Amino acid sequence: MKYVILIRHGESYTNRNGILSSELNRYRLTEEGIEQARFTGEQLNGLKFDGIISSPILRAVETANIINQYLNLEIKTDNRAIESDFGEYNGKRIVDIPDKSRDELGMESFESQTSRMIDLINSYTGNYIVVSHSFPIRCVLANYLKLGEIESFGLDIRHASMSVINVEKEKILAIGSLLLSPEIRKIFK
Ligand SMILES: O=C(O)[C@@H](CO)OP(=O)(O)O
């Protein structure tokens, strides 16, 4: 890819209920999450992309379809953009998860998520929107910022926010933005 806009899905019932879930078809977007996705679609309206790639998880696919109402592109699902694998903690409330490292908890590692997301980005040519999840997006940004898991802990990726990367120059142009600057909009005209 030349440029990528990484978008976290809108608020879903996993977030509303404080649950970690990588189940494919269980948790939909909330009304708020639908509105968030619509707002992001409006920001992207009229801009040109080579396609939308989405995590196969329902909340991401719903977000991609709402955004695509403004873009009318082909949407591809790609497992490399999927949510973290939470292991035995899949479906559990965040408050009930012991305060241990991901490795100790048997969850998918920071490195695994980083490499699958970078692999996805490097396997498409052109400018794409990628709809994914908070942690995988944080992994990509940390990669370009040359930060590790602990050092990038503060990267809080809001629902339906846009993080923009010039992939060829390995340069982050925006992190977790709800709007696009005129300079960034020009790239996709
Ligand atoms: O549950 C969360 O906090 C994140 C973790 O990646 O998932 P999602 O972005 O799907 O809400």
> Has 152 been labeled as part of a binding site?
no
pTM for this model (two decimals): 0.97
pLDDT band at residue 52 using 50, 70 and 90 as cut-offs: very high
> Has 13 been labeled as part of a binding site?
yes
The predicted structure's pLDDT at residue 142:
98
Catalytic residue among 62, 83, 108, 149: 83
What digits encode the pLDDT tens for the residues 33-49? 999 999 999 999 999 99
Given the structure tokens 């340069």, which residue do they identify? Answer: 171
The predicted structure's pLDDT at residue 15:
98
Alpha-carbon span 51 to 49, nearest angstrom: 5
Please give the ipTM for the structure prediction.
0.95
Reply yes or no on whether 159 is catalytic.
Answer: no
Pocket lining: 20 vs ligand 1, CB cutoff 6 Å: yes
Pocket lining: 15 vs ligand 1, CB cutoff 6 Å: yes
Pocket lining: 108 vs ligand 1, CB cutoff 6 Å: no
Non-local (6+) Cβ contacts of 127 within 8 A are: 1, 2, 3, 4, 48, 49, 50, 187, 188
CATH class of the 3-187 domain in this structure: alpha beta
CB atoms within 10 A of CB 36: 23
DSSP state of 176: E
Per the CB < 8 A criterion, the answer to whether 131 and 9 are in contact is yes
Pocket lining: 62 vs ligand 1, CB cutoff 6 Å: no
The predicted structure's pLDDT at residue 105:
95
Q: What's the mean pLDDT in 68-81?
A: 98
Reply yes or no on whether 133 is catalytic.
Answer: no
What digits encode the pLDDT tens for the residues 9-39? 999 999 999 999 999 999 999 999 999 999 9
In 3D space, the residue among 23, 2, 4, 3 whose CA is nearest the CA of residue 14 turns out to be 23
Residue spans of the domains in the chain: they are 3-187
| Shortest-distance atom of ligand 1 to CA 15 | 11
DSSP state of 88: G
Pocket lining: 63 vs ligand 1, CB cutoff 6 Å: no
Alpha-carbon span 168 to 158, nearest angstrom: 25
Q: What's the mean pLDDT in 86-94?
A: 97
Q: Which residue out of 134, 139, 152 has the highest number of ligand 1 atoms within 8 Å of its CB and is therefore the one to mutate?
A: 134
The predicted structure's pLDDT at residue 113:
98
What digits encode the pLDDT tens for the residues 107-164? 999 999 999 999 999 999 999 999 999 999 999 999 999 999 999 999 999 999 999 9
The predicted structure's pLDDT at residue 80:
98
